[in-house]
Amino acid sequence: MALSFFWSREFLTNRYFLWLLFWCNALGTVYGYIWYGEQMKWTLAHQPAWQIVFVPDSPTASLFFTLALLWVLYPVKSVVLQRIGHVIQALAVVTSVKYGVWAVAIIFAGWSQGGAQHWQDWMLIASHSAMAIEALIYVRFFGFRWGALIVAGLWTLLNDTMDYTYDIYPWLPATLYNHVQAVRNFTFTLTIASILAAWLALKQAKRA
C-alpha cells in the first residue's frame, strides 16, 4: 500500500476513520475542559460570569473541530445548517492551528526560562501538535469560504482581547509571568498567522 493512500480522500473521509477521529477529539475536549477546571472555578469566583466563555481556549478549539467533523459525516441540504457548519469549520481550523501552535510554543518558552519539565508537557505537545496538523489536513473537506473565515478570525481576535484585557488568558508556566506582555504580543501575532494559514490552506484546497 502506497504511503500516499493515507493522504487520500478515500482514507481521510472513510466513515470509520472519521468516527475514530471524532471520538479522539471528543475525549480530548472533555479532558481539556477538566484541565481548565481550576481556572474556570477561579474565574467564576473572581470575575463576571460571562467571561467564562473565553477561558478554556484549547478545548473549545477541539470542540469546534469535533463538531466540524459532523458536517463531513452528515452533509446537510439546509442552507441555514450549511452556513452554521461553515462557521464552525472555519472556527475549527483557525483556533486549532492557533492554540495548537500556541501551547507547544509556550511549553518550550517556559523550559527556555528554566521551568521544570513534566511528562504531561510531552503529552500536551503531542496532542496540540496533532490539533494544528489535523485542522490543516481537513480544510479541503470543509465547505467554508471567506465569509465564515472572517467570522472565525474576528472571534479569535475577540478571545485574545478578552484574555489580555481581563487577565483570563490560560495559566502560564511560572517562569513566563514576568513576560506576559511578550506572550500577549505573540498570541495576537499567532492569531493573524493562523487566519492567514487557514486562508492559504483554503486557497490551495480550491485548486485541488
Number of helices (H) and strands (E) in the chain: give both, helices first.
8, 0
Among all chains, which residue has been given the C-alpha cell 475514530? 20
The separation between the first and the last C-alpha atoms of the chain, rounded to the nearest angstrom, is 23
The CA dihedral of 102, 105, 110, 111, to the nearest 10 degrees, is 150
Q: Which amino acid is at 79?
A: V
- Within-domain flag for 42: yes
Alpha carbon separation from 141 to 92, 137, 164, 199 (Å, rounded):
12, 8, 34, 14
- Within-domain flag for 98: yes
Question: What pLDDT, on a 0 to 100 scale, did the predictor assign at position 11?
Answer: 87
Question: What pLDDT, on a 0 to 100 scale, did the predictor assign at position 122?
Answer: 95
- Within-domain flag for 7: no
- Within-domain flag for 175: yes
Question: What pLDDT, on a 0 to 100 scale, did the predictor assign at position 105?
Answer: 97
Question: What pLDDT, on a 0 to 100 scale, did the predictor assign at position 175?
Answer: 94
Question: What pLDDT, on a 0 to 100 scale, did the predictor assign at position 41?
Answer: 97
Question: What pLDDT, on a 0 to 100 scale, did the predictor assign at position 85?
Answer: 96
* Euclidean distance between CA atoms 21 and 38, whole angstroms: 28
Question: What pLDDT, on a 0 to 100 scale, did the predictor assign at position 207?
Answer: 63
- Within-domain flag for 163: yes
Alpha carbon separation from 208 to 9, 73, 98, 110, 199 (Å, rounded):
11, 21, 24, 40, 14
Among all chains, which residue has been given the C-alpha cell 469566583? 45
Angle made by CA atoms 100, 133, 55, in degrees to the nearest 5: 25
Domain encompassing residue 193:
15-207
Give pLDDT < 50 ranges for the chain.
Answer: none
Burial class of residue 37 (count of CB atoms within 10 Å of its CB; 0-12, 13-18, 19+): exposed
- Within-domain flag for 142: yes
Which among 119, 124, 17, 155 is positioned nearest to 73, based on CA atoms? 17
Burial class of residue 197 (count of CB atoms within 10 Å of its CB; 0-12, 13-18, 19+): buried
- Within-domain flag for 61: yes
- Within-domain flag for 4: no
Q: How many domains does the chain have?
A: 1
The 3-class secondary structure across 129-189, one letter per residue, is: HHHHHHHHHHHHHCCCCHHHHHHHHHHHHHHHHHHHHCCCCCCCCHHHHHHHHHHHHHHHH
